[in-house]
Structure 1
Amino acid sequence: MNIVQEPLTLNKPLSEAYLNHFSSVQQLYQYDAMNEASWQERLEWLHESEHLRIPRGQVVERLREYNLLHNPHEAVSQSLDALEKPDAAVIVGGQQSGLFTGPLLVIYKAATIIKAAQHAAKQLNHPVVPVFWIAGEDHDWDEVNHTYVLSPDLSVSRIRVARETEQRLPVSMNEIAREEWEQAISELEQLLPDTEFRPALMDLLSQVSEGSSTLSDAFAKLLGTWFGKYGLVLLDSADPALRQLESPIFERMIDENDQLGVAYRAAADLCQSLGYQAQADVAADGANLFYIHEGERLLLFRHDGRFSDRKGKVHFTADELKSELNRHPERFSNNVLTRPLMQDSLLPVLGAVLGTGEIAYWALTGSAFKAFGLRMPLLLNRESFTVIEGTLHKHMDKYNLSWADISDHDVFAQKRENWLAEQDSLHLDDRFEQIKAAFTDMYDPLIEQLGGIQAGLLKLGAANREKIVEQMEYLRGRAKDALGKANSAGLRHFDRIELSLFPQHKPQERVYNIFYYLNRYGNDWIDHLLEIPYDISGDHRIIYL
């Protein structure tokens, strides 16, 4: 395994500024994670603010129960023992619970959380526990019900748990039938090449699915299988028992909703004044809380001192909403803007591991943290990787393709065309253009002369010329198709490079599932991932296998 740093376009100007030019956006954030002094400063604040969070003993007790169900590893128990002590901090990061863990970036985020916690513990000489926040309260089923693998026939193949219902239920409450699990596992097995590792992987998925009624359950069990031995603690944000503990924080969010709304809008205005577009919707009347009503997760808004959804299915005064919270805390959940506040109220967060999109929208929460009496934690960029297998690397060398060539779709397409043109010993395009030019040079004067005989022959001659040229173009197309078929092996190499590294014109880590690589290289592949030195910048790196 060879690791090489290569650039990958972020397309997130605000995140780019945070990571590389912090002083230009420091008004939006709290700490510069690249400054070592910020880590100590944050740790000291955590010690001073212990009273602002939910009692850690209660939180740890619930996390023990949850992890015993899905992540019962001795190293996890040791992490929770450490977390129970008043001086311990956490590095946290989260993601939606996708099918078979979803895209590779989820695995990279889990690895980053672990490595960042190890880095912080060593740097601060202090206990720091890694925590993965499973966003089970999210309700967008179509975002999590599928995953992709590259099939042997070079197609980006989707595996999906289909649902006809449009019910907006949190993913952790959306149950999956046994036959749905079996169908998805069977599809994956058919798409993966037959290797020495495939039987064990299919057995793992069968065992996981047997004990999982939801995507979140299976997600937790898989992460526990791979990362539990590193002490990664799992937390499901939709856990009803955890929600009970969070009730006082939700009550504060209701009582102080106006102040929080003002803070979010002020941050959005500040973003725009600095030249950045807000990365999340900040509605003027947004309550930034969800309420589950008759199996549907509804986003709440404030109207004349009352809380309701856009369609008017529910209506509450603030007191009525708090009364409902007291009776049914499991019906409440955060949106992307209040989730960071809840996370910081629940855990002693030293740093949050985020993707570049998340770093951008967290800028909207800075003022809300202050309004809530909290401070935004260190924001740590998730490590980013592209895996290039040995055969693929050989293809790149053969066709003289650099990472820069491949990462730019237009450049790569031109390289492909140039290579194919080099295989054209007949110089088809030049020859056909010459013939077309010679033909029209000879034919146009004749058409003009025919027009002198009869006016209608001029129009007929022009039409006849276009048909002949059209037939020439048809023959050229057929000739180039034949050239492509004669060089199909090379073109297939180009296709494999593009589909392996930028499927659907997206970075590999945002599309493909981990099981493709585990099927090729075994579970040790994840352990090797953890051996890659931690890079606090999170700059994109190539893993050459």
Structure 2
Amino acid sequence: MEVECIPFKETGYFSQLICDYLDQKKELTSFYNRFPLLENFEGQIKEKASNYPKTNRTVLVNSLKNQYKNIEISNDTQENIDALKDEKTFTVVTGHQLNLFTGPLYFLYKIVSTINLAKKLNQEHPDHHFVPVYWMATEDHDFDEINYFNLHGKKVLWNKKASGAVGRLSTEGLEDVFDIFAAELGNLGLTDSLKELFRSSYLEHSNLTDATRYLANALFGEQGLVIVDGDDKDLKKLLVPYAKKDILEHTPFQNISETIDALGKVSTDYNIQVNPREINYFYLKDGLRERIVEKNGKYGVVGTQIQFSKEELLSELEANPERFSPNVVARPLYQEVILPNLCYIGGGGELAYWLELKSYFDEMGVTFPMLMLRNSALLITEKQSEKVEKMGLKVSHLFMKQHSLINKKIRDISNIDIDFSPQKRLLEEQFQHMYDIAEQTDKSFLGAVKAQEVKQKKGLDALEKRLLKAQKKKLKDHVIRLTDLQNEFFPNQSLQERQLNFSEIYLEMGDALIPMLLDKLDPFSKDFIVLRHT
């Protein structure tokens, strides 16, 4: 397996904000706590240890034991759960939706990044213990985002009417999905293992939370991964004081709104990922997860007849904290309240919204975690690698926009020179002589000379484009092969990791897939990784 590294900023797939963050642009330092360098974790450990209550550890461990009571787990996972009682144990966390059969491939990269970070920290700080955690987004309600995965260019879809928190959804109906999946796989090679994994995960568990926990544990349990479900009454009790400040005082709305304004002043190129609401909690019951809103001193649940006075709402929060579900703004705080966490590992979009949250955490008195960009990778088969070499390309070329890549290739292989840059330079030299004449005779002609230069340059550009278009037509077979190759690597002109399901790669590599990722992906890398089969 050959490894090639491409800086994130050169891939064209990462935002200006994330590229600036990775470059540690000084104007961004106030938006995060510590940059995720190995030497910075010691300070993070001390800070988190100073304000994470010991009582929270007891609640966390008891909840985890309850969540795992019906699942067989590895010795390493059991030891990690037990270790969380100890004040010298900390976590590193990633989170992800409950995508069907892991959803896109980067689900694996997130968890591998987290496991590898925990390993490095355990080596660097042997007097402490570090646990990799996967936070399941069980309270999410965007079913349409998770009810499918792609296999061989086809969408395998769970057709179901759904409402409320996705983790509570019944797995009824997934038998039909399994039949479609099995038929697409066929009966060759490693298909039996994948079918059994799907069957055991989804057809032998009654809800999506239990199914996803089983699946993630089957893939990563031997690495000691601990899986957390935040839809838990005892864990939610720890959130009650913070929920009160949100609902009654609108603290995150004020702090995050100010941070968004401040980020906009650093650069207008930064896209805002999330906007806070005055109340950042949903009311949660089976089949229902709707926003809580305040109007004229009354608190209502959007789309329902449910209504509370201030006193009734506070009483409901104290008695039934499990009915209050944090949104995308409040959920990160919830995570950091219940876990002895040092670092969050996420994708570019996730880190962008975390960078909006620090002042909110400061106001709430909760340590803001370090933010680490997860590993990203492109996996290339031996056959694909041979195609790249035959076409005289580098893999880095394939990250170009498709039209730019085609233009580059046509220029490279054409038997005539399609680059009119020499003609443009000659034109500029000729017009410079005309500028000199105008300066010495009548300066009022300078504008006319400039206009003529622009006109003739545009003419050369037009001729160059027409010639390029003609050559594309003449070399149509090359264009088709190149387009097909890039589409193999970047399905729908998107990153492979956002389109392919892990099962497609598993059919190529089998049980070697996850060990290979664990071996090759470095969480501290600032590069996009290309992994080429040899």
- TM-score norm. by structure 1 comes to 0.80
Alignment of 1:281-292 (within 5 A): 281-283=274-276, 285-292=277-284
Structure 1 contact 6–403 (Cα < 8 Å) conserved: no
Q: Residues 262 and 246 from structure 1, CA distance in 2 versus in 1: closer, same or farther, beyond 3 angstroms?
A: closer
CA distance in 2, matches of 1:376, 1:544: 37
Give how far 1:193 is off: 6.0
**Cα distance per residue 1:170-209 (max 9 Å; x no partner):** 11012121xx222222222333365321112212211222
SS at 2:392's partner residue? coil
Q: Corresponding residue for 2:33? A: 30
CA distance in 1, matches of 2:398, 2:387: 12
Q: Pick one of 250, 254, 257 that aligns with 1:262.
A: 254
Q: Pick one of 25, 49, 63 that aligns with 1:47.
A: 49
Give how far 1:224 is off: 0.5
SS at 1:196's partner residue? coil
Q: Corresponding residue for 2:205? A: 212
Alignment of 1:342-381 (within 5 A): 342-381=334-373
SS at 1:136's partner residue? coil
CA distance in 1, matches of 2:67, 2:343: 23
Q: Corresponding residue for 1:503? A: 491
Matched AA of 2:251: Q
In the alignment, does 2:387 pair up with 1:395? yes
Q: Pick one of 141, 145, 148 that aligns with 2:147.
A: 145
Alignment of 1:221-232 (within 5 A): 221-232=214-225
CA distance in 1, matches of 2:227, 2:210: 11
Structure 2 contact 250–278 (Cα < 8 Å) conserved: no
Identity %: 25
**193-202 or 525-534: which moved more?**
193-202
Matched AA of 1:412: L
SS at 2:135's partner residue? strand
Q: Corresponding residue for 2:515? A: 527
Q: Residues 278 and 237 from structure 1, CA distance in 2 versus in 1: closer, same or farther, beyond 3 angstroms?
A: farther
SS at 1:534's partner residue? coil
Structure 1 contact 59–242 (Cα < 8 Å) conserved: yes
Q: Corresponding residue for 2:320? A: 328
Alignment of 1:432-447 (within 5 A): none
Q: Residues 185 and 140 from structure 1, CA distance in 2 versus in 1: closer, same or farther, beyond 3 angstroms?
A: same
Matched AA of 1:24: E
CA distance in 2, matches of 1:369, 1:525: 38
SS at 2:279's partner residue? strand
CA distance in 2, matches of 1:420, 1:206: 50
Give how far 1:520 is off: 1.8
**380-389 or 168-177: which moved more?**
168-177
- TM-score norm. by structure 2 comes to 0.82
Q: Corresponding residue for 2:175? A: 182
SS at 1:69's partner residue? coil
Q: Pick one of 14, 17, 22 that aligns with 1:14.
A: 17
Give how far 1:54 is off: 5.5
CA distance in 2, matches of 1:214, 1:109: 23
**Cα distance per residue 1:185-237 (max 9 Å; x no partner):** 22223333653211122122112223222333222211101110110000122
Give how far 1:35 is off: 6.4
Alignment of 1:238-257 (within 5 A): 238-240=231-233, 242-244=235-237, 246-255=239-248, 257=249
Matched AA of 2:100: L
Which runs of 4 or more aligned residues in structure 1 lie more than 6 Å from their structure 2 counterparts after TM superposition?
A: 416-422
Give how far 1:96 is off: 0.2
Give how far 1:278 is off: 5.2
In the alignment, does 2:134 pair up with 1:132? yes
Q: Corresponding residue for 2:310? A: 318
Matched AA of 1:63: L
Q: Residues 217 and 540 from structure 1, CA distance in 2 versus in 1: closer, same or farther, beyond 3 angstroms?
A: same
**342-351 or 313-322: which moved more?**
313-322
Give how far 1:266 is off: 1.4
CA distance in 1, matches of 2:352, 2:111: 20
Q: Corresponding residue for 1:430? A: none
Alignment of 1:534-545 (within 5 A): 534-545=522-533
Q: How many residues align?
A: 473
Structure 2 contact 233–320 (Cα < 8 Å) conserved: no
Give how far 1:412 is off: 3.1
Q: Residues 245 and 281 from structure 1, CA distance in 2 versus in 1: closer, same or farther, beyond 3 angstroms?
A: closer
Structure 2 contact 5–527 (Cα < 8 Å) conserved: yes
CA distance in 2, matches of 1:308, 1:274: 38
CA distance in 1, matches of 2:211, 2:234: 19
Q: Corresponding residue for 2:403? A: 410
Q: CA RMSD in A?
A: 2.7
Q: Corresponding residue for 1:169? A: 164
Matched AA of 2:20: A
Q: Residues 417 and 22 from structure 1, CA distance in 2 versus in 1: closer, same or farther, beyond 3 angstroms?
A: closer
- Which runs of 5 or more residues in structure 1 are unaligned? 423-476
CA distance in 2, matches of 1:168, 1:316: 23
Give how far 1:421 is off: 7.7
Give how far 1:343 is off: 0.7
Q: Pick one of 223, 226, 237 that aligns with 1:233.
A: 226
CA distance in 1, matches of 2:84, 2:281: 28
CA distance in 2, matches of 1:381, 1:204: 29
Matched AA of 2:78: S
Matched AA of 1:145: N
Matched AA of 2:129: P
Q: Corresponding residue for 1:159? A: 156
